[in-house]
Amino acid sequence: MKDAEQVSKESSAPSAVPQPVVAQLTRSAIFLVVTLSSGKENEATVQKLCGDLAALVRAVGFRDLEGKLSCVMAFGSDAWDRLFGTPKPKELHPFREVHGRHHAVSTPGDILFHIRSTRTDLCFELATQIMSRIRGAVSTADEVHGFNYFDDRDLIGFVDGTENPVDQGALNATIIGEEDTAFAGGSYVIVQKYLHDLTQWNELPVAEQEKIIGRTKLSDIELDDAVKPTSAHNALTTIIENGEQLEIVRDNMPFGDVGKGEFGTYFIGYARSPRRIEQMLENMFVGRPPGNYDRLLDFSRAVTGTLFFVPSATFLENVGTAEAAPSTVDPTAKEPEAEHESKSRLSLPDGSLGIGSLKKKAGYE
């Protein structure tokens, strides 16, 4: 198997097709994080899956073309070094812990599979097929099955995702362009699993909950700046740079285990630079200014934290054949067939966040 530099040099493809990082939010998702076992044979097994993934998604998704099955495959810093060598995405590094009033932990994770569909069974079947290909080559670090909760609400009762960018704005926020031409069409993703203390949270008066979140609970209207605390969740996760709001795309989903009394939110944020999400986490856990931290963290604890790079779909498909990973992006290229539908022909960015938001488009199916 050739490394990323050899793959890139031998490519004749003029453009890269991104993975479906901006796929429409669905009712079900599986977040699967695995660690790569030592040994060249295990690396070869994962590399083979890279080239086979698109066909595998098509095969499972063909059972229901309306199920909108998709899968994003992403790699941690150490796994990238082992699987692909150089060149390496410019901003790929291990997740950086944040120590403040609360702690954003860093946890193991070499490969992320973000599986989405309107149907839980399609997500489950694809996850099963993926693991059947790489079982023995990897160990599972974390697996979370997310679900849509009533009208797009988190288990704490607030709508999650109001401010997500859509269409061209989503592409501008997530897809790498000229800033790293060798990996144009790629993206970065940070995942964290948060566990909620719902007993304590539900003891708070609704008015206090609203001040912590920065929005009304029932109507989902943002509080006026005159009454919204500077420590509100949506205030601290709004990043302005040179007069421009820096956005990310989130697909957070609730999860839980009633028997264990475990209730939480799986945060997943895509961005063209991880610095956007890292600044949000700094604001949340340390505070802006320091000490003015996100009070939601008094009731919601981060138990995982990992940073991954999402190479283009073209890169993945070419890994097994040693064809080049393209360095430019075709603005009219279709998303991988696993989406089972053509997306609008949106031009990808040639240069360009809020953890409290999640929903990109209305219209669950």
| pLDDT tens, residue by residue, 236-267 | 999 998 889 999 999 999 999 999 999 999 99
Q: Which of 52, 142, 152, 160 is catalytic?
A: 160
Pure H helices in 205-354: 206-213, 233-236, 274-285, 313-319
**Integer distance in angstroms from the first to the last C-alpha of the chain?**
41
Q: Judge whether 160 counts as a catalytic residue.
A: yes
Over residues 74-99, the mean pLDDT reads 97
**pLDDT tens track for 3-12:** 665 554 433 3
User: Is the separation of the CB atoms in 284 and 294 below 8 Å?
Assistant: yes
Q: How confident is the model at residue 152 (pLDDT cuts 50, 70, 90)?
A: confident
Q: What region does 86 belong to: left with phi over 0, alpha with psi -120 to 50, or beta?
A: beta
Q: How far apart are CA 228 and CA 233, in angstroms?
A: 10
For the chain, what percentages of helix, strand and coil (3-state, to nearest 5) are there?
30, 25, 45
State the amino acid at position 69 in one-letter form. L
pLDDT at residue 18 is higher than 70: yes
- Of the candidates 336, 318, 335, 331, the residue with the CA atom closest to the CA atom of residue 11: 318
Tokens of 97: 């812990």
User: Is the separation of the CB atoms in 21 and 248 below 8 Å?
Assistant: no
pLDDT at residue 355 is higher than 80: no
pLDDT at residue 329 is higher than 50: no
Q: Crossing angle of helices 120-134/40-61, nearest 10°?
A: 150
Burial of 193 (0-12, 13-18, 19+ CB in 10 A): buried
- Of the candidates 329, 296, 291, 290, the residue with the CA atom closest to the CA atom of residue 313: 329
State the amino acid at position 132 in one-letter form. S
pLDDT at residue 341 is higher than 60: no
State the amino acid at position 42 in one-letter form. N
Q: What local confidence, expressed as pLDDT, does residue 3 receive?
A: 60
pLDDT at residue 357 is higher than 60: no
- Name the pTM for this structure: 0.86
Q: What local confidence, expressed as pLDDT, does residue 13 receive?
A: 41
Q: What local confidence, expressed as pLDDT, does residue 203 receive?
A: 97
Does the N-terminal peptide bond of residue 289 adopt cis geometry, omega within 30 degrees of 0?
yes
pLDDT at residue 333 is higher than 80: no
Q: How confident is the model at residue 201 (pLDDT cuts 50, 70, 90)?
A: very high
